[in-house]
Copies of this chain bind each other. A is one copy, B any other.
Amino acid sequence: MRKGEATRERILESALELASTEGLTGLSIGRLAERNAMSKSGLFSHFGSKEGLQLDVLELATAKFRETVFTPALRADRGEPRIRALFTRWLDWIDHQSLPGGCLLTAAAAELDDQPGATRDALVDVQRQWADTLARSVRIAIEERHFRPDVDPPLFAFQLHAIVLGYHHARRLLRDPQAGRRAREAFEALLESARRRKARSV
């Protein structure tokens, strides 16, 4: 049982790569087996079903995301610095990541939005948690008096996530070399609007 767990992890690692470019549906057991120099059936027996494989891949992606983006950001100071760290690491995670196809969670979000099933449910769960996490960081920034008290945490989380999605689009589809700069500028503008006191209505 030692060895089995090891190959299982090795498989999942390469499955993550494959799924990041081909999508969770496009991830095929045959090709994954070929990549790992083993038989389809041998590989299959580790997961029991394709859905099982997808769920495990999703779980691994989530774990990696947490340890790459979230956990290290906790070492930044509470409030705005931490939000800044979250954003920066999130952007980094999207491209310089070992995954050739960008963030699997983002790709899966678009892919599974109309595909009911356990995989979609698991993904929704992860994404909801992430939205909550972001909102919580915003609330902390309000407590720390970095942000105005009337900043709407879920709205700020929405805006932050939106910028990242825009970055993903510009960077990965359009291959726009300005993508990073634009995303950072949009982020700074968002921070600015949360920081400064309320504007006089026009």
Contact = CB atoms under 8 A, between A and B. Distances in A.
Interface of A: 20-23, 25-26, 100-102, 106-107, 109-115, 123-124, 127-128, 131, 152, 154-155, 158-159, 161-163, 165-170, 172-175, 178, 182-183, 185-186, 189, 192-193, 195-196, 199, 202
Given A101-B113, A102-B114, A110-B111, A166 B173 contact: no
Contact of A178 (B109, B154, B169, B199): B154
Given A107-B110, A173-B109, A174-B127, A185 B23 contact: no
A97 B125 CA distance: 27
Contacts of A155: 182, 185-186
A81 to B, nearest CB: 15
Contacts of A186: 155, 158-159, 162
A154 B182 contact: yes
